[in-house]
Amino acid sequence: MILEFIFYDFEKAGWFEGGQIMKILAVVGSPRRNGNTHIVVRKIAEGAKAKGAAVKEIFLGDLTIAECDGCQCCWEAERCSKDDDMQQVYEQIIGSDGFIFGTPVYWYGPTALMKAFVDRFVYFNCEKNRKKIRGKKAVLAVPFEEEDEQTARLVEEFFDKSLNYLEMAVSGKVLVPGVGKKGDVLKKKDKLDEAFGLGSALVTQIELGHGR
């Protein structure tokens, strides 16, 4: 039902019609709705929308996404062997021009939800599927409780290295330290402004890449 609603909404916006509207997929890897991660992702999305992009959110906690077991079936059949919600999410990823990935820091890494999601990007690791995402850009939203920005270093490296390996790129990120309680990020106007600007910059970078 959740995926059916998402796809209906995308179709209403002309998501799969091949038009000129830019499409950004926002992926929330926090299990908490309206928490710090969601707020920052939403602010980035506002910046992208202000530049004319269509943005759709998905909450990984709402979906059934199994772990990748390295069977490499997708290398041979161009389709993942897991019959779960990721099958439809792949279509959304392929149909998107850019991405917003949001995760809090859990034990100095991304959430299990986000890690399982990115693990399934092995689908794009064969040449037949690689071309479907090659060159696409993403931005990151990473809030966390500690005050030291180095707390997020492994999360940054996880995305930088994973997306670079797939010939994608992290074009920007907003790190938000010191937000341990739900809604704490609302007290950090500078970081929310930074997030809005990041969304606008993502659209500009994608436009330059497309020669628009």
In this structure, what CATH number is given to the domain that contains residue 177? 3.40.50.360
- pLDDT computed for residue 13 by the predictor: 47
Q: Bigger pLDDT: 209 or 167? A: 167
Mean pLDDT, the chain, rounded, equals 89
Is residue 85 in a domain? yes
The region that residue 77 occupies, defined by phi over 0 for left and psi between -120 and 50 for alpha, beta otherwise, is alpha
pLDDT of residue 8 exceeding 60, the answer is no
pLDDT digits 0-9 by tens, 57-93: 999 999 999 999 988 888 887 788 898 999 999 999 9
Residue 27 lies in a domain: yes
In a domain? residue 2: no
Q: Do the domain assignments include residue 11? A: no
Rounded Cα–Cα distance for residues 97 and 17 (Å) = 14
Whether residue 155 is predicted with pLDDT greater than 90 in this model: the reply is: yes
Question: Residue 125 above 80 pLDDT?
Answer: yes
Domain count, the chain: 1
Residues across the chain: 212
pTM of structure: 0.89
Q: Which helix (H) or strand (E) holds 56?
A: strand 54-59
pLDDT at 3 over 80: no
pLDDT in tens, 14-43: 444 445 789 999 999 999 999 999 999 999
The answer to the question of residue 203 being in a domain is yes
Residue 70 Rama label (left phi>0; alpha psi -120 to 50; beta): left
Q: Is residue 14 part of a domain?
A: no
Q: In what order do the strands lie in the sheet with 98-102?
A: 54-59, 23-28, 98-102, 137-143, 169-176
- Residue 119, C-beta contacts closer than 8 angstroms, at least 6 positions apart: 67, 68
What is the structure's pLDDT at 210? 64
Identify whether 6 is part of a domain.
Answer: no
CA atoms in the 13 A half-sphere facing the CB of 7: 12
Question: pLDDT tens across 87-108, in order?
Answer: 999 999 999 999 999 999 999 9
What's the average model confidence in pLDDT over 139-148?
A: 97
pLDDT at residue number 76: 81
pLDDT at 116 over 80: yes
Q: Which domain holds residue 137?
A: 22-210
Is 86 within a domain?
A: yes
Nearest Cα to Cα of residue 199 among 36, 79, 52, 15? 52
